[in-house]
């Protein structure tokens, strides 16, 4: 390739993110300087949090600048290296963004630059062993602190994070109820993944179904959705329940602020705890999580689903899949083959 294809953030979204928010361009391929490597992106990760990065407001990471390549996690291959720890051909994980080539270094960006462990595929490293798997692991275990026999409720349960969180809860001896959208996702969760009960929020009354599927109420709610589903869940907590605030995808494309739940006082009555977290705070402990996750996968206790699209021109549309409910499992896009 003679040029670096890029998708730039052209304008900030107002409502649902669309292809019109991005602009395609081609630039010269950059050159690595001392301490850097030139990486060609092979796979891109798509996550709901990217919608937040497009908004000009204070957050845990600075917003993507207008005219800059859209930020995204990636797996790529080292083309040229000016760093002693990397050589051409190495498969690496970094924050490569929506472009073919990126200059990376171990200390740069929110993910730095790391080699893929031996025997781990790019698909695994961007899903069950990547940010989504680590989010499920630390969010459930550190904040939720599940105990055998407890009931765990998971929203966004068919997503890459929710499905892993629910399975970890099962591994820890809990009863797990998932909330997902549509018969296909609900069937996958119950028949393939092993959830005890599933609620189809698109076709069922969530508040009523939580009462039916959690007759003894719940002890942990791992929430990826927020909004009305969070409010419904807060009606069915046990004493000392833990609400793990992982995300709020129901409001990411809203044109007006989404009102908070009207029943937050239930937290006081039931001495419950609601806590948010960002997985980047746990990255120094990523190794321990990957070892345990790999062990559960090898034992057949943990399953994961990849929704793999292909083609550089499909990048903007692939992001939209997260917000239209088209994806089943972790959303990835393959843009190149390794050399």
The residue range of the domain holding 115 is 4-126+305-334
Q: Does 108 share its domain with 186?
A: no
The confidence score (pLDDT) of residue 258 equals 81
The 10s digit of each residue's pLDDT in 189-203 is 999 999 999 999 999
Residue 297 falls inside a structural domain: no
The confidence score (pLDDT) of residue 108 equals 86
Residue 89 falls inside a structural domain: yes
Q: What is the CATH number of the domain that holds 247?
A: 3.40.50.720
Q: How far apart are CA 128 and CA 100, in angstroms?
A: 24
Q: Does 119 share its domain with 136?
A: no
Q: Does 113 share its domain with 142?
A: no
Residue 146 binned pLDDT confidence (cut-offs 50, 70, 90): very high
* pLDDT of residue 327 exceeding 90: no
Q: What is the CATH number of the domain that holds 11?
A: 3.90.180.10
Q: Does 236 share its domain with 109?
A: no
The 10s digit of each residue's pLDDT in 38-51 is 999 999 999 999 99
Residue 255 falls inside a structural domain: yes
Q: Does 137 share its domain with 275?
A: yes
Residue 286 falls inside a structural domain: no
Please give the tally of structural domains in the chain: 2
The 10s digit of each residue's pLDDT in 89-109 is 999 999 999 999 999 999 887
Q: Does 153 share its domain with 73?
A: no
Q: Please, which residues have CB within 8 angstroms of residue 149's CB and are 6 or more apart in sequence? A: 173, 174, 175
Residue 266 binned pLDDT confidence (cut-offs 50, 70, 90): very high
Residue 290 falls inside a structural domain: no
Q: Does 174 share its domain with 265?
A: yes
Q: Does 33 share its domain with 145?
A: no
Q: Does 185 share its domain with 257?
A: yes
Residue 1 binned pLDDT confidence (cut-offs 50, 70, 90): confident
């Amino acid at each position: 390739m003679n040029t670096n294809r890029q998708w730039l953030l052209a304008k900030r979204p107002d409502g649902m993110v669309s292809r019109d928010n991005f602009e395609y361009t081609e630039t010269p391929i950059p050159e690595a300087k001392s301490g850097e490597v030139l990486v060609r992106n092979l796979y891109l990760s798509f996550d709901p949090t990217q919608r937040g990065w497009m908004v000009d407001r204070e957050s845990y990471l600075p917003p993507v600048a207008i005219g800059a390549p859209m930020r995204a996690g990636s797996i790529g291959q080292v083309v040229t290296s000016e760093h002693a720890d990397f050589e051409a051909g190495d498969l690496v994980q970094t924050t490569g963004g929506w472009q073919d080539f990126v200059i990376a270094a171990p200390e740069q960006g929110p993910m730095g630059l790391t080699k893929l462990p031996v025997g781990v595929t790019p698909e695994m490293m961007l899903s069950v062993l990547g940010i989504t798997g680590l989010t499920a692991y630390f969010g459930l275990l550190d904040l939720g602190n599940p105990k055998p026999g407890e009931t765990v409720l998971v929203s966004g349960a068919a997503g890459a994070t929710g499905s892993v969180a629910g399975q970890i809860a099962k591994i820890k001896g809990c009863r797990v109820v998932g909330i997902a959208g549509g018969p296909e996702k609900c069937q996958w969760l119950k028949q393939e993944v092993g959830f005890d009960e599933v609620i189809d929020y698109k076709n069922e009354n969530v508040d009523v179904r939580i009462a039916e599927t959690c007759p003894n109420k719940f002890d942990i709610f791992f929430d990826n959705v927020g909004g009305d589903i969070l409010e419904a869940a807060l009606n069915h907590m046990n004493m000392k329940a833990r609400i793990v605030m992982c995300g709020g995808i129901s409001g990411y494309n809203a044109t007006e602020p989404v009102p908070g739940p009207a029943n937050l006082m239930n937290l006081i009555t039931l001495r419950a705890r609601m806590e948010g977290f960002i997985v980047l705070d746990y990255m120094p402990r990523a190794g321990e999580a990957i070892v345990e996750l790999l062990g559960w996968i090898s034992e057949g206790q943990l399953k994961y689903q990849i929704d793999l699209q292909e083609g550089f021109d499909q990048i903007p549309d692939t992001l939209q899949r997260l917000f239209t409910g088209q994806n089943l499992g972790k959303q990835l896009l393959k843009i190149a083959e390794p050399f």
